[in-house]
Amino acid sequence: MGDSIEQHVLPNEHLKMALPLAEAKLREAENEHRNIEIEMRNHEKNRLVLDRIEAAKEVDRDLAAVGRSLQRYLDLGGDIWPLVVDPYGSTRDQIEGWMRIAKALPALFQTLQKRLPGVDFGGGGPLAASEAGYWGVSIISRDAA
């Protein structure tokens, strides 16, 4: 108990050596934190990419069904055309209903057309394949997992 306070305080030389060591340990911990954060972000990104590809597969199925329904709708318009006697001069397009189809599309499709003027629509293949190709992921990744 007879120790004085001075005996418990590190001399300046020890403090001068401890500070760089503490700073180095701090930098090491910060680097490790950054690496873990990058790894976590990559894991979350990969999970979201696979979820988006699954959503794209659903869109592909729905678009294929809509395509079949639209083709039937248009075929019926073609069957109606020869039977129409129209004193107002309707065109075949109006009978087939392209304008009505365009107006029936959800507002999201108007946004798509405004954002991508001049882009040819259709014939590009399944959305899921395009999405997987964009992200460099095999389309069977989730199915195999």
Q: Rg for the chain (alpha carbons), in Å?
A: 33
Q: Which of 10-14, 71-75, 91-95 has the lowest mean pLDDT?
A: 91-95
**Which uninterrupted H or E stretch holds 126?**
none
pTM listed for this prediction: 0.63
pLDDT at 81: 75
Examine the pLDDT at 23 and tell me if it is beyond 90.
Answer: yes
| Cβ within 8 Å of residue 77, ≥6 positions away | 95, 96, 97
Tens of pLDDT, residues 33-82: 999 999 999 999 999 999 999 999 999 999 999 999 989 888 887 787 77
- Angle CA 131–126–77, to nearest 5: 140
**Cα–Cα distance for residue pair 96/115, rounded to 1 Å:** 27
The sign of the dihedral angle between the CA atoms of 101, 106, 112, 113 is: positive
Look up residue 32 and give its two tokens: 């490790």
The sign of the dihedral angle between the CA atoms of 73, 79, 81, 84 is: negative
- Whether the CB-CB separation of 46 and 124 falls below 8 Å is answered with no
